[in-house]
A and B are shown apart, each in its own frame.
Chain A
Amino acid sequence: MAASHRTARVVSPVRPRFDVAVWSYMRWSGVLLIPLAFGHLAIMHLINNVHVIDACFVYYRWAMVGWRVYDALLLWLAYIHGLLGLRYVIDDYVHQPGLRRGLKGLAVVLGVALLTVGSVALVGGVRVTELPGGC
């Protein structure tokens, strides 16, 4: 008798919160960021180094759409992951509601601005014709 209750028990509706989406995002982005970040680390700091990486390096790398997608994923996933982490910090440590809202708003504005700059760079790519020596 008791077992029959279990299969049918649905405890919704509980008002969905933004936090549910944030929780899911943090977990999935965290999993995806592990290979993306370590891959980036390997390419930019282990396989290559600061003596090799210049505008031409980026130009040739971004000539392949796959690397642009890779970098875009890294940028968006990591940046939003970090911003949501900052939201946690603000929620935990800023106890004045007005200041909390203000800081979160500031974080969103700065975050959107920086994501825009990063995205513009990714779409625009490197203008090799403007480089003094070309590539």
Chain B
Amino acid sequence: MKVKLRVQRFNPERDARPWWAEYEVEVEDTDRVLDALNYVKWHIDDSLTYRRSCAHGVCGSDAMRINGANHLACKVLIRDVVTDGGTITVQPLMGLPVIKDLVVDQGPFFQKYRQILPYLINDEPPPARERLQSPEERARFDDTTKCIMCGACTTACPSFWANGEYIGPAAIVQAHRFIFDSRDRGAADRLRVLNEWFGVWRCRTIFNCTMACPRGIQVTRAIEEVKALLRSGKLG
């Protein structure tokens, strides 16, 4: 089938503002949007710039805005976003500075990630073999372990668009992953960060993050659980 790929492009060395490029691409309906972008880069215009790495929905490199919603280009099938002869619109993630074409500066995103101390904190003497955890305790934070840090949730959040100081859903999901881990002892430190004015209270429960997550994480639920914990102060 033939589709038109409409890509928002921007080269800061040449362009005053972003512009739209259109490419006619011959694809299979079971191809992915990433395949269409690769076709453009390899056969039509090699200046087109975008991130991709594993191409199998694991690394999270190719998160972008496809037909107005955040997706991983390597997970979205052509047939799910367009019919024969139709147009696919591709834009960079919103809310982060564009470096070139579909590549955004992820620096601010990872700076927020570092704020929530994304590592296991436990100063207690380690047991002889390992810190044991029951299946139930592991299940408590299983959902948020699936995050691949693609940034689709944070850059789909209108609160983040409105104010880039907001720590964002991805950082809260990562905080949730450690706060509710029975082996971790750093919950209070993380909660202090999330309780700041740029923390969880800027979430307006819009649910864009949940819809955008390519891993199906219940992002809004995780954020609400952190809010409830901030109110009760008790893990359990």
Stretch of B12-20, B85-93, B98-106, B186-194 lying at the A interface: B186-194
B168-226 contacts to A, CB under 8 A, are: 179, 182-183, 187-188, 191-192, 195, 201-202, 204
Question: B234 contacts A9, CB within 8 Å?
Answer: yes
A contact residues around B132 at 8 Å (CB): 1-2
CB closest chain-B residue, reference A13: B233
**A contact patch SS:** helix
Is B43 among interface residues, defined by CB-CB distance under 8 A?
no
Our pick among A7, A10, A20, A95 for the contact of B230 (Cβ within 8 Å) is A20
Question: B195 contacts A2, CB within 8 Å?
Answer: no
Question: B192 contacts A95, CB within 8 Å?
Answer: no
Is B163 among interface residues, defined by CB-CB distance under 8 A?
yes
Task: State A9–B234 Cα separation when bound (angstroms).
Answer: 7
Question: B235 contacts A9, CB within 8 Å?
Answer: yes
Question: B195 contacts A15, CB within 8 Å?
Answer: yes
A contact residues around B192 at 8 Å (CB): 14-15
Question: B204 contacts A23, CB within 8 Å?
Answer: no
Our pick among A5, A10, A91 for the contact of B233 (Cβ within 8 Å) is A10
Question: A6 contacts B137, CB within 8 Å?
Answer: yes
Is B162 among interface residues, defined by CB-CB distance under 8 A?
yes
| Distance from B15 Cβ to chain A, minimum over Cβ atoms (Å) | 27
A contact residues around B191 at 8 Å (CB): 11, 14
Our pick among B134, B182, B204, B233 for the contact of A88 (Cβ within 8 Å) is B204
Interface contact tally, CB-CB below 8 A: 67
Question: A11 contacts B137, CB within 8 Å?
Answer: no
Is B70 among interface residues, defined by CB-CB distance under 8 A?
no
A87-129 contacts to B, CB under 8 A, are: 88, 91-93, 95
Question: B227 contacts A6, CB within 8 Å?
Answer: no
Task: State A91–B204 Cα separation when bound (angstroms).
Answer: 12
Is B229 among interface residues, defined by CB-CB distance under 8 A?
yes
How many A residues touch the partner, as a band?
Answer: 20 to 34
Task: State A93–B195 Cα separation when bound (angstroms).
Answer: 20
Task: State A93–B137 Cα separation when bound (angstroms).
Answer: 40
A contact residues around B233 at 8 Å (CB): 10-14
B contact residues around A3 at 8 Å (CB): 134, 137, 182
A contact residues around B182 at 8 Å (CB): 2-3, 5-6
Is A51 among interface residues, defined by CB-CB distance under 8 A?
no
Question: A11 contacts B201, CB within 8 Å?
Answer: no
B contact residues around A92 at 8 Å (CB): 159, 162-163, 202, 204
Is B126 among interface residues, defined by CB-CB distance under 8 A?
no
Task: State A24–B230 Cα separation when bound (angstroms).
Answer: 11
**What are the interface flags for A6-47 relative to B under an 8 Å C-beta threshold, 1 for contact and 0 otherwise?**
110111111101011011100000000000000000000000
A-binding residues in B (CB < 8 A) = 127, 131-134, 137, 159, 162-163, 179, 182-183, 187-188, 191-192, 195, 201-202, 204, 227, 229-231, 233-236
27 inter-chain pairs at a CB distance below 8 angstroms, sorted by A residue, are A1-B132, A2-B133, A2-B134, A2-B137, A2-B182, A5-B182, A6-B182, A6-B235, A6-B236, A9-B187, A10-B234, A10-B235, A11-B179, A11-B187, A11-B191, A11-B229, A11-B233, A12-B188, A12-B233, A14-B195, A17-B195, A20-B201, A20-B231, A22-B201, A23-B231, A92-B162, A95-B163
6 nearest A-B pairs in the assembled complex, by CB-CB distance: A12-B233, A19-B201, A92-B162, A9-B235, A11-B187, A11-B188
